[in-house]
Amino acid sequence: MKNCLIILLVLFLSVSCKKEVVKQPAKLIEKEKMIDIMYDLSLLEAMRYQHQELIDSTETNPTKFILKKYKVDSLQFAQNNMYYAADYENYKDMFDEVGKRLAKVQRATDSIVKIEDKKAAKAAKKKKKEVLKDSIKKAEPVIKSIDSIKKAKRKQLRK
């Protein structure tokens, strides 16, 4: 009797786990498009975090712009987001893909910033050399006059 009860319990649990928690929305956004939307929204959040004054100063809602870009309304996005979130592993894979894209863009941005920093440092060094050369050129007449004064004093002392 106990074996039968255990078998029924295991069978019941296995069948109940297969049932979808959230039903598929009528307008399902394909997975790749959903990843693109999530990527753009992640970039938007990063921009909002870094430069909040720029985002707040605009009249438009950037999130609405992104949803309009993909021809998706906010309700459709919310329903699809809940649908994909119901499958944890699949949703995690989607966010991993978004993370990979963000990391790739971060590496590219970092390399561009390094190049720009090197150019700026090189330009500053060149400017410093030019300023030094100009200072030396301006100091040359003063040095010559000091040298001539010293020579004149030496001549006077010799006499």
The DSSP-derived string for the chain is: -HHHHHHHHHHHHHHHHHS-SSPPPSSPPPHHHHHHHHHHHHHHHHHHHH-HHHHHHSSS-HHHHHHHHTT--HHHHHHHHHHHHHSHHHHHHHHHHHHHHHHHHHHHHHHHHHHHHHHHHHHHHHHHHHHHHHHHHHHHHHHHHHHHHHHHHHHHHH-
User: What pTM did the predictor assign?
Assistant: 0.61
Count of the separate structural domains present in the chain:
1
Q: Which domain holds residue 41?
A: 24-133
Q: Flag whether 77 is in a domain.
A: yes
Q: For 114, what's the count of Cα atoms within 13 Å in the CB-facing half-sphere? A: 6
Q: Flag whether 7 is in a domain.
A: no
Q: What is the pLDDT of residues 39-74, one digit of tens each?
A: 999 888 887 777 777 666 655 677 888 889 999 998
Amino acid at 73: D
User: If you average pLDDT over every residue of the chain, what do you get?
Assistant: 81
Q: What confidence tier does 83 reach under pLDDT thresholds 50, 70, 90?
A: very high
Q: Flag whether 90 is in a domain.
A: yes
77 has pLDDT over 60: yes
Q: Flag whether 3 is in a domain.
A: no
Give residue 95's pLDDT: 93
Q: Flag whether 81 is in a domain.
A: yes
| Residue pair 101/39 in contact by the 8 Å Cβ criterion | yes
Kindly state the percentage of the chain with pLDDT values over 70: 81
Pairwise CA distance, residues 24 & 17, whole Å: 16
Q: Tokens for 121, please give them.
A: 């440092």
